[in-house]
Amino acid sequence: MNSRRRIHVRVTGIVQGVGFRFFVCRVAQNLGLVGYVRNCVDESVVLEAEGEPNGISALVEAVRTGPPGADVRNTATHPRPVHGSEDEFEIRW
């Protein structure tokens, strides 16, 4: 049985121009997750992450705080189907 999970998260607040994407990417990579993070035109940040449930939970907790300078006001997390096709976590532009 595959225990991997995939989630989509939209983060709002002061999350652009404060190193948020780099923070998310570093945390996700350290947790062995794959996926991506990117800025949106509405000044939010979205990410999709896939991996073991404990790693996913740890990433969500880290995202709720963010790096110094960020002011996370809301995180909306939704499950997604597991892809299994990615081999890294990256920043998308």
**Active-site amino acid positions:** 21, 39
Rounded-to-integer distance, Cα 15 and Cα 28, Å = 17
CA neighbours closer than 13 Å in the CB half-sphere of residue 91 = 12
C-beta of residue 56 within 8 angstroms of C-beta of residue 82: no
